[in-house]
Amino acid sequence: DVVMTQSPLSLPVTLGQPASISCRASQSLVHSDGNTYLYWLQQRPGQSPRRLIYKVSNRDSGVPDRFSGSGSGRDFTLTISRVEAEDVGVYYCVQGSFWPPYTFGQGTKLVIK
Amino acid sequence: QAQLVESGGGVVQPGRSLRLSCATSGFAFNAFGLQWVRQSPGRGLEWVASTAHDGSRKFYADSVQGRFTISRDSSNNILYLQMNSLRGDDTAIYYCVRGWHDADFMGAWGQGTSVTVSS
């Protein structure tokens, strides 16, 4: 199984400042079709997860443009350019390149300093 | 707007069975693969099972293989998860999720239904 490792697990950020979350896979996530199926989810307190980014760097509809995804191979990053109060929650990466099983990172909890 | 509404959760004794349902609307049910993902405090998010758009292919996590069955009713746009021989480590919130590949992957989630396995 592909193991997804996120860092940090806790991320205190000052409002208006940038934030970055790293996600590393135990193997390259490049699929035989040439695509990389790496996704980012956000789970706000008391809510179910929702997808923010699909296939490494594509923002979902309605997701603010302060969120961006990047990376390739084994290493990926979710960046928030300027953190707002509504960004508090837990962020997960998940891979869909080599399955079953789909595998998730442990989650990174973003809190406001 | 896609809607997925889970139901059927509850408290059940170890070894017993439970069937979860996910009523869907707002999208073409027969066009999407569907999944169950669970979340427990100690284990984070865990993929449980997936079914193809037409139900022709089904996949299960090793932890539930042989005990859980995923199915779909295209007449009523409902996804099911039949859970047998429940164990304590099946305790979790179970989410119904739309999409199992490419740009559709996990693109919509339900609100979840809670399952507690305890004597």
A60-88 pLDDT, tens per residue? 999 999 999 999 999 999 999 999 999 99
Calculate mean pLDDT across residues A85-103.
97
Residues β-bridged to residue A36: A30
pLDDT tens, position by position, B17-57:
999 999 999 999 999 999 999 999 767 899 999 999 999 99
> How close, in Å, is residue B37 to chain A by CA atoms?
10
Task: Identify residues of B whose CB sits under 8 angstroms from chain A CBs.
Answer: 35, 44-47, 50, 59-62, 95, 100-103, 105-112
What's the CA gap between A3 and A95, in Å, rounded?
9
What's the CA gap between A59 and A70, in Å, rounded?
11
Flag if A106 and B44 touch (Cβ within 8 Å).
yes
DSSP A69-96: EEEETTEEEEEESS--GGG-EEEEEEE-
Q: Using the 8-state DSSP alphabet, how is residue A49 labeled? A: -
Decide the pairing of beta strands B10-12 and B113-117: parallel
Tell me the count of A-B CB pairs closer than 8 A: 59
Flag if B95 and A49 touch (Cβ within 8 Å).
yes
Residues on chain A touching B95 (C-beta within 8 angstroms): 48-49
pLDDT tens, position by position, B53-97:
999 999 999 999 999 999 999 999 999 999 999 999 999 999 999
Q: Does A106 touch chain B (CB under 8 A)?
A: yes
3-state secondary structure string across chain B: CCEEEEECCEEECCCCCEEEEEEEECCCHHHCCEEEEEEECCCEEEEEEEECCCCCCEEECCCCCCCEEEEEECCCCEEEEEECCCCHHHCEEEEEEECCCHHHCCCEECCCEEEEECC
Q: Using the 8-state DSSP alphabet, how is residue A37 labeled? A: -
Structure tokens at A93: 């990466």
Q: Which of B80, B85, B83, B84 is nearest to B35 (CA)?
A: B80
Q: Specify the amino acid at residue A48.
A: S
Residues on chain A touching B45 (C-beta within 8 angstroms): 41, 49, 92, 94, 104, 107
Q: Does A37 touch chain B (CB under 8 A)?
A: yes
Facing A51 at nearest CB: one of B47, B60, B107: B107
What's the CA gap between B8 and A70, in Å, rounded?
39
Name the closest residue on chain A to residue B51, using Cα atoms: A100
Flag if B109 and A50 touch (Cβ within 8 Å).
yes
pLDDT tens, position by position, A2-57:
999 999 999 999 999 999 999 999 999 999 999 999 999 999 999 999 999 999 99
What's the CA gap between A29 and A38, in Å, rounded?
7
